Structure formats: structure tokens, C-alpha cells
Amino acid sequence: MSIGQTFLGLLEAGPRHGYDLKRAYDDRFGHSRPLPYGQVYATLSRLLKDGMVELDGIEPGGGPERKRYAVTAAGVTDVERWLATAEKPEPYLQNTLYTKVVLALLTGRPAADLLDVQRAEHLRLVRELTRRKLTGDLAEQLICDHALFHLEADLRWLELTAARLDELARRMRS
């Protein structure tokens, strides 16, 4: 996800301080991985340097001054361009799990056990996401659905690979 463009989109609703922007980001997009404050201010600094945001005000406080940021016309244009651009589908043609299966077969280790352990971990995460989905708001339900669909595809791949392990092992030996 592009944090910069996400900040610009959030700033279209009105100027915000870095702290408020982080909170809005974390509430909507960062449930499992909240943004570190350093990343928030580094991103805002880059957006300011690139002319995508401007300082809308500086307020004194008990600690450092609080800067309020507003999106510029160039920032709005950047968000519009980003939103209109399709995301590249990730085909996952090379992944760690496939590499582990091949290496297990090449080294004489039980690849079926590796697949069983991975299947159990995927199912654990499916149960966790299903619980989150049942208690979450619509946004939480949609992001959980996205993750669940990916996990279901991974589980299908695990089953297919398990069914083809003998053939894959024969091809590895030859």
C-alpha cells in the first residue's frame, strides 16, 4: 500500500496533524500493522518536499510544535492518478513455501510433514480471521474476506501439492 497516497487521500477531508493522520490511518488500514510514528513524519516530510502537502499551521504545545498539514492541488491530482491506476496482480510464481517443498524433497526430508504443518497454520489463521469478521464492522469484514480468499487459494495449493508430492519427488531425482 502506498502510505503517501493514502495520507493524501485522508488529508482531502481536511488538514490534520501527524498524530491525527496516524490515528486515522491505523483505524482504517493498520489494524494488524499500525504505522510507526517515524514513518508518519518521514512520509509527511517527503510529501512536503515534493509539494504534495503544505503546512496549514503550527501550534505550540507542551512538547514540540504541532504542525498541521493540508493536501495541495498537486497532491489531489496525485491521489486521483493513483486511484485510477489498476494494481498489478501478484502471480506469486516464486514463494518461500514452494522453495521449502522442493528443498525438503531434494534433501530427503518429509515434504508431506512440512505441508501438514503449513496447512495447520493456515487453518488457524482462517479461524482467527473468521472470528474477527464476525465481530467487525463492514470495513473489517471486507479486509478479512480478502485475506480469507487468499488463504483458501493457498489451502487448495497445499492439497494439490500434497497429492503430487510423489511425482514431484520423481522429477527432482531425475
> In the predicted model, is pLDDT for residue 97 greater than 90?
no
pLDDT of residue 31: 73
> In the predicted model, is pLDDT for residue 93 greater than 80?
no
For 12, the grid coordinates are 482531502
> In the predicted model, is pLDDT for residue 87 greater than 90?
no
53-59 and 66-71 beta bridge pairing: antiparallel
| Predicted TM-score (pTM) of this structure | 0.70
Residues in the chain: 174
What's the pLDDT band for 56 if we cut at 50, 70, 90?
very high
- Short-list 25, 75, 24, CA closest to 48: 75
Q: What are phi and psi of 68, to 5 degrees?
A: -105, 130
User: How far apart (Å, rounded) are the C-alpha atoms in residues 33 and 27?
Assistant: 11
Domain-by-domain residue ranges, the chain? 3-84, 96-173
User: How far apart (Å, rounded) are the C-alpha atoms in residues 144 and 10?
Assistant: 22
Q: Which CATH class is domain 3-84?
A: mainly alpha
Please write the tens of the pLDDT for every residue from 65-78: 889 999 999 999 99
